[in-house]
Amino acid sequence: MTGPTRILTVFGTRPEAIKLFPLVHALEADPRFVSRVCASGQHRDMLDQVLEIAGLSPDHDLDVMLPDQTLDMLTARLLTGLGKVMDEEQPDWVVVQGDTATAMCGALAAYYRKIPVAHVEAGLRSGNIHHPWPEEVNRKVIGSFAALHFAPTETAAAALLRENVAPETVHVTGNTVIDALRWITRRIGEQPELAEGLAGLEARFAGKRIVGVTSHRRENFGGGLEAIAEAIRRLAARDDLALIFPVHPNPNVRKVMEGALSGLPNVALLEPLDYPHFARLLDICCLMLTDSGGVQEEAPALGKPVLVMRETTERPEGVEAGTARLVGTDADRIVAEAIRLLDDPAAYAAMARAHNPFGDGHSAQRICDLLAINSAK
Ligand code: UD1
Ligand code: UDP
């Protein structure tokens, strides 16, 4: 290739934007590349929160979010919309991240145009196509034809090799979420006011131990979410605990959580927090209860124990390192595991140790260099 390499980075949800902003920053600063960004707008308010703090202005925004949109509708609109952008931009590479509908459709639209795909956070596998759903299949689809696979860990790289992905296309880079977490921590250090919005809650809950909660997985809709809400309700009956829960705006999540938990004195149901405030929550909590992917990576980096409210995880590294524990979505089990940790200082100390199995904070630069090397071939 002659001249700078044209990279089109595609993302649409909060976690993709968090995990790709360090790469977009690095691409923008690197004369080897022309960086273009397409936001699908699969998320709206939650995406805009990240764009703002990261200072990103996408070149395209497809604004595809509709309330409670079906997966078919979302997929169809993403595929046609992203294809049009690729026809206009004619990139040398399309970069996608993770396993969302935007990532899968971005990769597929590129494949239909014979544009090589670089997959960030490649190789995560739970081994179960229904947990997480539909993410396990989305990432397998991308992995089946990506030209470059940026695996966050050796475990993820090994999963790709087991699927007969060409070894020379697989690179262990670490996860860019650690780059993002370091970046935001630095920003908060420089400008503490970015994360001061929880001060009122912190005062209200003074003397209590804070438990952070997030939950949004589609496979938990219905019974799973109800059980999670019940577990939170029971934990909130303890005087020494306060649960801070930024609720995902998906109506399927909202109605369950608001129905079960509104008005409880030890529970704060919040709107989604922007990234600096979520980093603050990670900082002040003693424990996270979550079904999120990204939170399973960030909490260990900060030495915060995580109880993962899922049946499987594609991120075994946190469990192996001892900071994460898989507890499923049974209310009795969640409560028992949380209380065991909170009431047994030795069990707590064994989990509350900072580990960084997911990266060293330099993943974005590694990915840039690999894109440059592979473009020069
Ligand atoms: C999506 C991803 C999931 C990822 C999650 C991160 C897919 C299929 N799912 O799930 O892999 O873990 O994002 O959060 O790609 N909504 C708003 N405002 C927002 C965002 C969402 O109101 O800013 C509501 C809308 O009603 C929307 C619904 O949430 O239709 C669902 O959003 P969607 O992107 O389809 O799925 P998520 O459950 O967010
Ligand atoms: N996050 C955030 N505000 C919140 C909840 C989460 O900024 O109120 C961040 C969190 O730090 C992590 C990411 O969002 O980086 C995880 O997103 P989510 O749980 O929506 O998706 P997943 O990681 O499960 O795909």
Q: Which atom of ligand 1 is nearest to the CA of 272?
A: 23
- Cβ of 170 less than 6 Å from ligand 2: no
Q: Which percentage of the chain shows pLDDT scores above 70? A: 100
Return the pLDDT at 81. 98
Which of the four pLDDT bands, split at 50, 70 and 90, describes residue 217?
very high
The residues, any chain, with a CB within 8 Å of residue 23's CB and separated by 6 or more, are: 9, 95, 120, 176, 364, 367, 368
| The amino acid at 310 | R
Whether the full predicted model's pTM is greater than 0.85, yes or no, is yes
Can you tell me the mean pLDDT for 69-79?
97
The yes-or-no verdict on residue 61 having pLDDT over 70 is yes
The residues, any chain, with a CB within 8 Å of residue 154's CB and separated by 6 or more, are: 172
Alpha-carbon distances, residue 80 vs 12, 74, 108, 294 (angstroms): 15, 10, 10, 28
Can you tell me the mean pLDDT for 246-273?
97
Instruction: Output 340-346 pairs: Cβ under 8 A, ≥24 positions apart.
Output: 341/287, 341/305, 341/307, 342/209, 342/241, 342/286, 342/287
- Cβ of 305 less than 6 Å from ligand 2: no
Looking at ligand 2, which residue's alpha carbon is closest to its atom 25?
A: 293
In the residue annotation, 60 being an active-site residue is answered as no
- Of the bound ligands, which one is closest to the alpha carbon of residue 102? 1
Q: Which of 218, 234, 333, 362 is catalytic?
A: 218
- Cβ of 22 less than 6 Å from ligand 2: no
Which of the four pLDDT bands, split at 50, 70 and 90, describes residue 355?
confident
- Helix/strand/coil percent split, the chain, to 5: 50, 15, 35
Quick one: how far is CA 114 from the chain centroid? 28
Domains and CATH numbers, the chain: 5-175+360-375 (3.40.50.2000), 198-352 (3.40.50.2000)
User: Considering just the CA atoms, what is the radius of gyration of the chain in Å?
Assistant: 20
Return the pLDDT at 170. 98
| The amino acid at 100 | T
Which of the four pLDDT bands, split at 50, 70 and 90, describes residue 1?
low
216 CA distance to ligand 2 middle (Å): 10
d(CA 191, CA 177): 21
Q: What is the mean pLDDT of the chain?
A: 97
Can you tell me the mean pLDDT for 136-162?
98
Can you tell me the mean pLDDT for 145-170?
98
d(CA 3, CA 248): 43
The yes-or-no verdict on residue 121 having pLDDT over 70 is yes
Return the pLDDT at 185. 98
